Amino acid sequence: MGMRDFASFIVERGAATHGEVLAAIDQQLRSRLTIGRLALQLGVLDASKVFAILAKQTRNSPENAKRRFGEVAIEMKILTPQQVDELLLEQRKRTPPLESFLVRAAVIDGARAKELREEFERATPSSSQIRAAVPRAKTA
């Protein structure tokens, strides 16, 4: 389960309304570092490469504008798929959790936020639990 599933969980528990959770998601997304800015900060790309990717991303057609920075960077052979995956993982690590935005907006307090996260994690199978439950193909 991802961010949106946790958002639904918060609403189902009556801790926040749909509108409050949507506002928190909006704040969370706006606070997130872009992949280009993150690549620049980490020294993965220099400014000229970031600008080249952005230029291609926004050039010529509205369809280009819908393409993600990482997709364009891979197509241009500026970043590898592995580098984009690593940047996305780092972006996720650096993005504050959804509940922190609900606390900032005084929708819930810190104790309730912690309680909700723990309850959600107990109710959500981990990826290792999911892998263990999936039957493996027998090898000859």
pLDDT digits (tens, 9 = 90+) for 40-62: 999 999 999 999 999 998 876 66
pLDDT at residue 76 in the model: 95
Average pLDDT value for residue range 1-25? 88
8 A C-beta contact, residue 57 and residue 72: yes
Instruction: Give one word for 95, left, alpha or beta, with left for phi > 0 and alpha for psi -120 to 50.
Output: beta
Cα–Cα dist 70/80, whole Å: 9
pLDDT digits (tens, 9 = 90+) for 108-134: 999 999 999 999 988 887 645 544 555
What is the chain's mean pLDDT, rounded? 87
Please give the single-letter amino acid code of residue 58.
Answer: T
Q: Which residue has the higher pLDDT, 79 or 135?
A: 79
